[in-house]
Amino acid sequence: MDKKLVYFLCTGNSCRSQIADGFLKALGSDSYEVKSAGLAAHGLNPRAVATMKEAGLDISNHTSDVIDPEILSRADFIITLCGDANDNCPVVRNDKAERWHWGFDDPAKATGTEEEITAKFREVRDSIQRRIEQFLREGK
């Protein structure tokens, strides 16, 4: 069986798209090829890595990548995780791809105490995990 390609897109490929990538690889790698990228490559956010580690997933080997037109053109699902990526995603001739927008707050923009910032990362992580689990239940 050919795996369907899911391409998660975000602004900087540092937090939300990395978290989604990590969860789908962990929960659905038997059915999906998973890639993620950004409009720019801002580097892997250390708080995203730490928050995923708390959930039992190691994304420390992930790389922060810029959108690859070749991957974009062969994706079965193109899923944006922030408004910026949704608004500025390159237009591609890919009639087979389902394009979805799953909007999540950017935890990297959280302010406050270290505990408050960590809580925001956990909140976004858990929201993304629930959305990935829903995606898998729907059997897309």
What is the set of active-site residues? 10, 82, 89
Q: Are 14 and 44 in contact (CB under 8 A)?
A: yes
Q: In whole angstroms, give the CA distance from residue 39 to residue 50.
A: 23
Q: For residue 119, give the amino acid letter.
A: A
Tell me, rounded to whole angstroms, the distance of Cα 62 from its chain centroid. Answer: 11
Those residues with Cβ within 8 angstroms of residue 57's Cβ, 6 or more apart along the chain or in another chain: 22, 23, 26
